[in-house]
Amino acid sequence: MNFLGHLYFSENNSELMYANLYGDHIKGRNFEKLPELLQKGIKLHRSIDNYIDHHPKVIDLMRQLYAELPKVTGIAIDLFFDHLLAKNWANYHSKSFEIFLDEFYRYNPVYWNHYSKEFQEFIDKMKTYKWMNYYTQFEGLEKSCEGVSSRLSFSNELINAPLVFLKHEKVITDCFKEYMKEAIVYFNQKEINN
């Protein structure tokens, strides 16, 4: 999942949400000296990525979409799932989508100075432009695909992902619902066991 999915699975803990997003900005295992909560967020980020990458239904979906989205199928599915989570937010969270995002944007992380300058700039842009607010709209999906496509270091078909989404919307939505049902159980159990 992309940004929104990572926030969703962060135990409704604003500090952990930022730490979770930081997982994309840390490579390897070089994070043991960071505060414990940041370590937890990075590990959670990787656990979410690992879970979706190995989910049987998602793997099936990747196979179905690969011919149309070679090399970027996994990225496209992450963006599709964030779009579907935003659109169906009321089915998954007690707070409204707008309030959830507003609380995230307004929160000032305690561990802000432990984050890299690059991550701080990324968060500032995310808050300024309110990227996730547009996830509910198809145009938001188009913008996300366009933005990620332009940042990839290789030529790719991600720009066409929104049309692929429309073509296979039922299959993608069914997969998303199955994934969410199982992921919620999995990450709730993980939270209890931590």
pLDDT at 47: 97
For all residues of the chain together, what is the average pLDDT?
Answer: 96
- Please check whether residue 26 is in contact with residue 43, taking contact to mean a CB–CB distance below 8 angstroms: no
pLDDT at 191: 64
Q: What is the pTM of this model?
A: 0.95
Average pLDDT over residues 32-59: 96
- How many Cβ atoms from other residues are within 10 Å of residue 85's Cβ? 24
Q: Taking 60 as the threshold, does the pLDDT of residue 192 lie above it?
A: no
> Domain segments of the chain: what residues?
3-193
DSSP code of 66? T
Task: Report residue 103's pLDDT band, with 50, 70 and 90 as the boundaries.
Answer: very high
Q: Taking 70 as the threshold, does the pLDDT of residue 35 lie above it?
A: yes
- Please check whether residue 102 is in contact with residue 7, taking contact to mean a CB–CB distance below 8 angstroms: no
Phi-psi region of 149 (alpha: psi -120 to 50; beta: other; left: phi over 0): alpha
DSSP SS3 for 60 = helix
